[in-house]
Amino acid sequence: MEVLERNKKQIVKARKLTVNPLESEAIYIFREVVAQFEKPVLLFSGGKDSITLVRLAQKAFYPGKIPFPLLHIDTGHNFPETIEFRDRLVKELGVELIVRNVQDSIDQGKVMEETGRYASRNSLQTTTLLDALEEFKFDAAIGGARRDEEKARAKERIFSVRDDFGQWDEKNQRPELFDHLNGKIDLGQNVRVFPISNWTELDVWSYIEKENIEIPSIYFAHKRKTFVRDGMIWSAEDNVVFRDKDELVEERLVRFRTVGDMSCTAAVLSDAITIDKVVAEIRESTISERGARIDDKRSEAAMEKRKQQGYF
Amino acid sequence: MEVLKIATAGSVDDGKSTLIGRILYDTKSLTTDKLEAIETRSKANGFDYLDFSLATDGLVAEREQGITIDVAHIYFSTKRKSYIIADTPGHIEYTRNMVTGASTSQASIILVDARKGVIEQTYRHFFINNLLRVKDVIVAINKMDLVDFSEKKFNAIKVDFEKLIAKSEYKEQHVTFIPVSALQGDNVVDASENTPWYKGQTLLEHLEELDAQDLYEKSEARFPVQTVIRPKQAEFHDFRGYAGKLYGGDLSVGDEVTVLPSLTTSKVKEIFFFDQKFETAGRGSSCTITLEDDVNVSRGDMIVKSSEKPRVEKQLTAKICWMDSKNLIPGTNYLVQSGSSRVLAKIKSISGIIATDFSGEDKEANTLSLNEIGEVQIQLSKPLAVDSYKENKASGSFILIDPQTNNTAGVGFIAP
């Protein structure tokens, strides 16, 4: 019995915390945010990146609760699966969820609905986001943007200072050295914080797999009414996208690689119904994740321009 | 998987962005859509080759001018490792961005144009890598195609560079020379037939073998407390956890520890990572620890093993790389931030500007201007637990924040 007890102790002794450098970095960043800012908020879209952020935040403050609310800028064109997932997650975690609607910004006459066959509410989000940050006096908005997503995002700092118009001054960013994150800002300014800056799409998926994190069902292959435009597969299930008569609706087996606004997120053909199959598919893919984001194709500098205006 | 962080350095037009684009292309890390975008744009610009710098120069202003202004972080992976490359600018006015990229990197690639050889910017880049104690430096002698892949040229540049190494302070730094053509892909990922005289590894082969784990060279445990976790829930009613990241060493349950700067002592009771308890935390881990005694610990304090105490000082002597357009002058106040500690400080004096050409001819000066490096004496308003930069990169470095503009105005490396 004594021998057994000793063996058990040795087993416990061997339990050394080994490091996933990306996870450790993200947790460090979360803790800096909470320590350095008065009123942080986590921008939550219900997509895989913000879901990963939520798990990392949980880890950073355990056994305490996540010490800031989640903010969802709802374009009104979300996939219903995402909204259902969002509400369930928030309930489980017992965190506060704030929702602000792009529709309200439209109704207030602050932004104008786009027209035409490429009309999207994606860029309209910026105004609603900036208004929400001002309304609640949030001084740090944590987002799931990654530098590998897009070439303008590759230029982003982890603590990215925005002026009181929400603008990103890409040519005059603060140097960021070692782990010494400078969160000092003037009243009215805010900081966008990107804890998973250094993660790649595959890192996120591998993490979701390893941690067994639940994600909305649209990330997995399902049958969906779709049509093809410009070589991309668009969802035809909701009346969000104006469809030409010759754009035929067909049922296809698809999944989504990113979960943005329905009006600008294309699906990919896939039969991946489990997380390991999704990871395998991403590993083999020859198209980048943003290749399925229709609004990024508007011009070579689409993302940079949106970021200058306060997009996250 | 291991993550190796690399920074590039080199003068304008030495081909840094092209080299990275080439690595991405040859390792098949560029997706079809990104490659198509590069093809379209290269054609539109009138090139008959693929301009790989378009893969990394992400800002409109960069593509307009064909230069890199700010650091871009580029990702790729092989079967062995994940890589993060900080593609940094070469222009002297963007030195601060180069330091930004190099500060978190374990390896650095310095590009030298084979036609021009070692020039002033090369001195500067090597000096910064030396000052930052970047463990592995790869000197990629680029544009070998423009010098007929001449072994003589390569060797002459190597000999010149070795003179710098002989004068450098960080003798343990490992420097490797590789002849490459980023544009054509010689010795970048695949070995070149054009350099039969070169028996070494290609750039990627070399990177694959570098040690990615060694972030902190000396292993004394440093645990700066970022925030105190007090859940106040029934289950964890009396829980008081100190959250932080462990820089260097190991920390185990039962270790006798000292809290700095107060010098209070206690023992490590538990180590948490999320909902699991561990016996030991290794360096680099972001964890939460509890102590046996109910001591007063708050953000900015540092927990260390009682047998491995750092210095606790109110005066610092440090090399400063100045990054602000407003000059550093004695008598002014700045905030010194090292990890989670931030204290008000006064610049007492400047000993001089350090020559970055290894000539040893330091200039006497009473100010430091943008991109200059100098030795500075600083008076702190409160004591700070520090190491020399040589001993621990995290507790041996700090940033200076201008309390009026909130800008990160400089970075300091604490003297031994």
- Paired tokens of B258: 């000292």
Closest to A40 in 3D by CA, of B82, B198, B227: B227
Give the number of C-alpha atoms closer than 13 A to the C-alpha of residue A19, restricted to the C-beta side.
27
Reduced to 3 states (helix: H, G, I; strand: E, B; else coil), residue A307 is: helix
Dihedral of CA A136/A141/A142/A145: which sign?
positive
Interface test mutation site (partner A, options B274, B280, B301, B393, max chain A beta carbons within 10 A): B274
Q: Measured between alpha carbons, how far is A103 from A78 in angstroms, rounded to an integer?
A: 12
Residues 54-73 of A with CB under 8 A from B: 58-65
Q: Around Cβ B294, how many Cβ atoms within 10 Å?
A: 9
Q: List strands edge to edge, sheet with B107-113.
A: B72-77, B82-87, B3-10, B107-113, B136-142, B174-179
Residues 285-304 of A with CB under 8 A from B: 285-288, 291, 300-301, 304
Higher pLDDT, A264 or B372: B372
Flag whether residue A11 sits within 8 Å of chain B, measured between CB atoms: no
Using the predicted structure, report yes or no on whether residue A4 has a pLDDT greater than 60: no
Residues in a beta bridge with B373: B321
Q: Measured between alpha carbons, how far is B205 from B48 in angstroms, rounded to an integer?
A: 29
Which residues have a Cβ under 8 Å from the Cβ of A143 and sit 6 or more positions away?
Answer: A43, A50, A53, A192, A193, A194, A312
Q: Measured between alpha carbons, how far is B331 from B323 in angstroms, rounded to an integer?
A: 18
- Paired tokens of A97: 């969820």
DSSP state string for B205-244: HHHHHS-SS---SS---EEEEEEEE----STTTT--EEEE
Flag whether residue B314 sits within 8 Å of chain A, measured between CB atoms: no
* Range name among A20-24, A164-168, A240-244 with the lowest pLDDT average: A240-244
Question: Closest-CA residue in chain B for A282?
Answer: B31
pTM for the full predicted model: 0.92
Q: In chain B, which residues have their Cβ closer than 8 Å to the Cβ of A186?
A: 406
Flag whether residue A202 sits within 8 Å of chain B, measured between CB atoms: yes
Mean pLDDT of A102-112: 91
Flag whether residue A15 sits within 8 Å of chain B, measured between CB atoms: yes
Mean pLDDT of A35-63: 96
Provide the pLDDT for residue A1: 44
Q: Measured between alpha carbons, how far is B402 from B406 in angstroms, rounded to an integer?
A: 5
- From the CA of B209, how many Å to the nearest CA of chain A? 19
Q: In chain A, which residues have their Cβ closer than 8 Å to the Cβ of B408?
A: 174-177, 182
Q: Measured between alpha carbons, how far is B371 from B149 in angstroms, rounded to an integer?
A: 35
The Cα angle at residue B133 between residues B130 and B134, in degrees rounded to 5: 95
What is the separation of C-alpha A303 from the centre of its chain, rounded to a whole number of angstroms? 15
Q: In chain B, which residues have their Cβ closer than 8 Å to the Cβ of A175?
A: 96-97, 99-100, 323, 408, 411
Flag whether residue A32 sits within 8 Å of chain B, measured between CB atoms: yes
B55 to A197: CB separation less than 8 angstroms, yes or no: no
Reduced to 3 states (helix: H, G, I; strand: E, B; else coil), residue B47 is: coil
Provide the pLDDT for residue A292: 58
* pLDDT level of residue A262 (50, 70, 90 thresholds): confident
Which residues have a Cβ under 8 Å from the Cβ of A102 and sit 6 or more positions away?
Answer: A73, A74, A75, A76, A111, A121, A124, A125, A128
Q: Measured between alpha carbons, how far is B411 from A32 in angstroms, rounded to an integer?
A: 19
Mean pLDDT of A293-297: 59
Interface test mutation site (partner B, options A10, A19, A139, max chain B beta carbons within 10 A): A19
Per-residue DSSP letter, A180: B
Residues in a beta bridge with B322: B410
- Paired tokens of A40: 């942080």
| Mean of the per-residue pLDDT values of chain A | 87
Higher pLDDT, B413 or A163: B413
The tens-digit pLDDT sequence of chain B (416 residues) is 788 999 998 877 788 888 998 999 999 888 887 788 888 888 888 887 778 777 777 667 777 776 666 778 888 989 999 999 988 877 766 778 788 888 989 999 999 999 999 998 898 899 999 999 999 999 999 999 999 999 999 999 999 999 999 999 898 999 999 999 999 999 999 999 999 999 999 999 999 999 886 656 667 999 999 999 999 788 888 899 999 999 988 999 999 999 999 999 999 999 999 999 999 999 899 999 999 999 999 999 999 999 999 999 999 999 999 999 999 999 999 999 998 999 999 999 999 999 988 888 888 889 999 999 999 999 999 999 999 999 999 999 999 999 999 999 999 999 99
Say if CB A121 and CB A93 are below 8 A apart: no
Mean pLDDT of A32-59: 96
Q: Around Cβ A98, how many Cβ atoms within 10 Å?
A: 15
Per-residue DSSP letter, B194: S
B323 to A148: CB separation less than 8 angstroms, yes or no: no
Which CA distances in Å does B64 have to A151, A301, A302? Answer: 15, 12, 15
- From the CA of B79, how many Å to the nearest CA of chain A? 11
Flag whether residue B399 sits within 8 Å of chain A, measured between CB atoms: yes
Say if CB A189 and CB A161 are below 8 A apart: yes
Using the predicted structure, report yes or no on whether residue A3 has a pLDDT greater than 50: no
Flag whether residue A31 sits within 8 Å of chain B, measured between CB atoms: yes
Provide the pLDDT for residue A311: 67
Which CA distances in Å does A126 have to A5, A62, A110, A298, A310? Answer: 60, 32, 11, 17, 6
Q: List strands edge to edge, sheet with A16-17.
A: A16-17, B280-281, B251-252
Provide the pLDDT for residue B214: 60
Provide the pLDDT for residue B58: 67
Euclidean distance between the first and the last CA atom of chain B, given in angstroms as a whole number:
34
Q: In chain B, which residues have their Cβ closer than 8 Å to the Cβ of A21?
A: 3, 284
Residue with tokens 């050889």: B117
Nearest CB to A155: which of B58, B335, B401? B58
What is the separation of C-alpha B159 from the centre of its chain, rounded to a whole number of angstroms? 26
Using the predicted structure, report yes or no on whether residue A253 has a pLDDT greater than 90: yes
The Cα angle at residue B227 between residues B225 and B231, in degrees rounded to 5: 130
What is the separation of C-alpha A82 from the centre of its chain, rounded to a whole number of angstroms? 12
Using the predicted structure, report yes or no on whether residue A11 has a pLDDT greater than 60: no
Q: Measured between alpha carbons, how far is A41 from A70 in angstroms, rounded to an integer?
A: 6
Is the omega angle on the peptide bond into residue B330 within 30 degrees of 0, that is, cis? no
Which residues have a Cβ under 8 Å from the Cβ of B304 and sit 6 or more positions away?
Answer: B220, B221, B222, B223, B257, B258, B260, B310, B385
Closest to A22 in 3D by CA, of A210, A286, A290, A293: A210
